[in-house]
Chains A and B, each alone.
Chain A
Amino acid sequence: MTDAADNRNYALYETIVINVARLVFLAVFFAAWEYIARNRIVNPLFIGTPSEIGKFLWNGLFVEFSLIKDLYWTLGSTFLAFLIGSVAGIITGLMFITWPWFERFSDPLFSALNALPRIALAPLFLLWFGLGIWSKVALGASLTYFIVLSSAVAGIRSTNADHLTLSRTLGASQGQIFTRVTLPSAVPTIFSGLRLGLIYALLGVIGGEIIAAQHGLGQLLSYLAGSFQISGVFAVLFILAILGTGLIALMSRVEKWLLRWQ
Chain B
Amino acid sequence: MSGQGQLATDATVKPEAGGHTQLAAGAPELGNVSIRDLNHRFGSSVHAAADVFLNFAPGEFVSIVGPSGCGKTTVLNLLAGLLPVQEGTISIFGSPPKAGRHDVAYMLARDCLFPWLTAAQNAEFGARIRHADRHKRQARARELLEAVGLKGFEDNYPKALSHGMRQRVALARTFCLDSPLLLMDEPFGALDAQTKMQLEDVLLSLWMKERRTVVFITHDLAEAITLSDRVVVMSARPGKIIADIRIELPRPRSVTDLQKDPEYHKIYSKVWEKLEVGLRS
Residues of A within 8 A of B (CB): 160, 162-163, 165-172, 176, 180-181, 184, 187, 260-262
Smallest CB separation, A169 vs chain B (Å): 4
Flag if A170 contacts B114 (CB, 8 Å): no
- Check B80 for interface membership: any CB of A closer than 8 A: yes
Flag if B115 contacts A171 (CB, 8 Å): no
Residues on B with beta carbons closer than 8 Å to the beta carbon of A171? 99-102, 129-130
Within 8 A of A (CB), among B99-117: 99-102, 104-106, 108, 110, 112, 114-117
Flag if A262 contacts B129 (CB, 8 Å): no
Residues on A with beta carbons closer than 8 Å to the beta carbon of B115? 261-262
Flag if B129 contacts A176 (CB, 8 Å): yes
A260-B110 Cα distance, complex, nearest whole Å = 23
Smallest CB separation, B119 vs chain A (Å): 11
Residues on B with beta carbons closer than 8 Å to the beta carbon of A262? 115, 159
Smallest CB separation, A181 vs chain B (Å): 7
A261-B125 Cα distance, complex, nearest whole Å = 16
A160-B114 Cα distance, complex, nearest whole Å = 10
Residues on B with beta carbons closer than 8 Å to the beta carbon of A166? 106, 108, 112
- Check B88 for interface membership: any CB of A closer than 8 A: no
Residues of B within 8 A of A (CB): 80-82, 99-102, 104-106, 108, 110, 112, 114-117, 125-126, 129-130, 157-159, 177
A176-B114 Cα distance, complex, nearest whole Å = 14
Residues on A with beta carbons closer than 8 Å to the beta carbon of B130? 170-171
A167-B113 Cα distance, complex, nearest whole Å = 11
Flag if B112 contacts A162 (CB, 8 Å): yes
A261-B121 Cα distance, complex, nearest whole Å = 12
A184/B80 contact (C-beta < 8 A), A166-B106, A170-B126, A170-B129 known = no
Residues on B with beta carbons closer than 8 Å to the beta carbon of A167? 129
Identity of the chain A residue whose Cβ is nearest the Cβ of B111 in the assembled complex: A162
Flag if A165 contacts B108 (CB, 8 Å): yes
Residues on B with beta carbons closer than 8 Å to the beta carbon of A184? 114, 116
Smallest CB separation, A168 vs chain B (Å): 5
Flag if A165 contacts B82 (CB, 8 Å): yes
Flag if B129 contacts A163 (CB, 8 Å): no
Identity of the chain B residue whose Cβ is nearest the Cβ of A167 in the assembled complex: B129
Smallest CB separation, A251 vs chain B (Å): 19
A169-B104 Cα distance, complex, nearest whole Å = 8
Q: List 28 A-B contacts (CB under 8 A).
A: A160-B112, A162-B112, A165-B82, A165-B108, A166-B106, A166-B108, A167-B129, A168-B99, A169-B80, A169-B100, A169-B104, A169-B105, A170-B126, A170-B130, A171-B129, A172-B129, A176-B129, A180-B114, A180-B125, A180-B129, A184-B114, A184-B116, A187-B116, A260-B157, A261-B115, A261-B116, A261-B159, A262-B115
A169-B100 Cα distance, complex, nearest whole Å = 4
Identity of the chain B residue whose Cβ is nearest the Cβ of A259 in the assembled complex: B116
Identity of the chain A residue whose Cβ is nearest the Cβ of B109 in the assembled complex: A162
Q: 9 more A-B contacts (CB under 8 A) besides A160-B112, A170-B126, A261-B159? A: A163-B112, A169-B105, A169-B106, A170-B125, A171-B100, A171-B101, A172-B129, A181-B114, A262-B159
- Across the A-B interface, the 8 shortest Cβ-Cβ residue pairs: A171-B100, A169-B106, A261-B116, A261-B157, A170-B129, A162-B112, A184-B116, A168-B99
